[in-house]
Amino acid sequence: MKRYSFLSLARNAVNYHKDWGQAWRNAEPRSEYDVIIIGAGGHGLATAYYLAKEHKVTNVAVIEKGWLGGGNTGRNTTIVRSNYLQDESVAIYELARSLYETLSQELNFNIMFSPRGVLMLCQTEHELRAFKRTAHANRLSGVDARMIDRAEIKRLVPIINDRDDCRYPILGAYYQPRGGTARHDAVAWGYARGADDRGVDIVQNCAVTGINREGGRVTGVETSRGPIRAKKIAVVAAGNTSVVMDMAGVSMPIESVALQALVSEPIKPVIDVVVMANTVHGYMSQSDKGELVIGGGADEYNNYTQRGSFPAVEHTVTALVETFPIISRLRMMRQWGGIVDMTGDRSPIISKTDVQGLFVNCGWGTGGFKSIPGSGFVFADTIANDRPHPIAEPFGLNRFAEGRLINESISAAVAH
């Protein structure tokens, strides 16, 4: 991999990057690999990176039907936090959050992690009680979190509406000071470059159209660019999980829905924390460019469009104008959607399957950006050693048959 000195960076800036090397190869698919990962989102790329780095498994291809990071990884609103209720969840989300703290150094790629603080507003007595419970549980698990009152909320977020005469007055907030945001594309690009450096092939514009099995085990995939043999196959195809797993004859407990987001025209800094208002279904942060990054609830019906419906946007904007009245005359610049895969208990699936050599990582729903480093780390370990990593074990597919659900519907927050 080519590295750049300060002088060469300056030269490239004036010669329109004429000699700028590619950050990763545009690999052609080979006929056989030890491991094929289906899906070059953050989870697939992180899995490839840790397989190569931690387990020296480098005969790996990541097969992507579009371009890397073009799924939900490049479409999300970049919130990173670990304030989930159950111990199993805190273990994986806090592993991920702590890996984010040093990910720029790990990958030698600036992923712009900004632990600016995340607030979850409590706007009903029920929400206040639920978040008090979460804050206590989180502190017992070693997560730095606390409840704050309305005065402290107003100090942290001067533009917030703290009046009593609105639909849902603010009663308090859950506060995680080291939650925040990171640059989503950079996370995908950093892991892609790190995996490519270690010999992983990243094959873009190559759709998997079939999964081949012989007896009870996988033997390879059919793709739009021909068949490829493999000893192990890992499906990491958020939004399309059920479709891809169906190719191997495995039915998934997943529903797919659209979740959307929007950004405003850029304005001067007005908010330097992330605020989530779960009761009214809206959240907001400000990007380094000055745009307000806004999102809300998921569509209420299953679909595979990467757009999202107008009523959901209207609902989100109503909630945020109520919460931050100064944004009422702001123009919105862009709106987009992604397809997220939801499990019934709102927890992910990181699992071996009954088909030998077939692994699956999915079900992160509306909240899987924050978990990318931790998920990649434990999934790579699971694939390399053919048994669940201890942190991944509770998230096995068997929990649905055995009734060991990990209920995170409250912590999954605003989008549910």
In the complex, what is the shortest distance from the CB of residue 283 to ligand PYC, in angstroms, rounded to a whole number?
A: 6
| Enclosing H/E stretch for 313 | helix 310-323
232-262 core/surface letters (b: 16 or more CB in 10 A; e: else) = bbbbbbbbbbbebbebbebebebebbbbbbb
**Residue 208 binds: one of ligand PYC, ligand FAD, none (C-beta under 5 to 8 A by kind):** ligand FAD
In the complex, what is the shortest distance from the CB of residue 2 to ligand FAD, in angstroms, rounded to a whole number?
A: 26
Question: Is the Cβ–Cβ distance between 386 and 267 less than 8 Å?
Answer: no
In the complex, what is the shortest distance from the CB of residue 381 to ligand PYC, in angstroms, rounded to a whole number?
A: 24
Question: Diameter of the chain by CA atoms?
Answer: 66
Dump strand ranges (E) for 50-101: 60-63, 79-80
Which sign does the torsion angle of CA 180, 184, 186, 190 carry? positive
**Residue 64 binds: one of ligand PYC, ligand FAD, none (C-beta under 5 to 8 A by kind):** ligand FAD
CA distances to 2, 61, 184, 318 from 70, rounded to whole Å, are 25, 17, 11, 29
Single out the residue of 137, 218, 236, 410 in contact with ligand FAD (rule: CB under 6 A): 236
Site track 363-382 with ligand PYC (rule: CB under 6 A), x = hit: ---xx---------------
∠ Cα 368 369 370 (to 5°): 90
Site track 117-156 with ligand FAD (rule: CB under 6 A), x = hit: ----------------------------------------
Q: Given the rule CB under 6 A, which of 87-95, 197-205, 236-244, 407-415 is the region that contacts ligand PYC? A: 407-415
**Residue 351 binds: one of ligand PYC, ligand FAD, none (C-beta under 5 to 8 A by kind):** none
Q: Which two tokens stand for residue 112?
A: 């712009």
- Among 28, 11, 30, 32, smallest CA distance to 20 is for 11
Count Cβ atoms below 10 Å from residue 346 Cβ, excluding itself.
24
SS3 119: strand
Answer yes or no whether residue 114 interacts with ligand FAD by CB under 6 A: no
In the complex, what is the shortest distance from the CB of residue 331 to ligand PYC, in angstroms, rounded to a whole number?
A: 22
Q: Given the rule CB under 6 A, which of 77-85, 137-145, 228-236, 302-310 is the region that contacts ligand PYC? A: 77-85
Residues that bind ligand PYC (CB under 6 A): 77, 79, 81, 283, 295, 366-367, 413-415
Residues that bind ligand FAD (CB under 6 A): 38-44, 63-66, 70-73, 75-79, 207-208, 236-240, 244, 259-261, 295, 338, 340, 364, 366-370
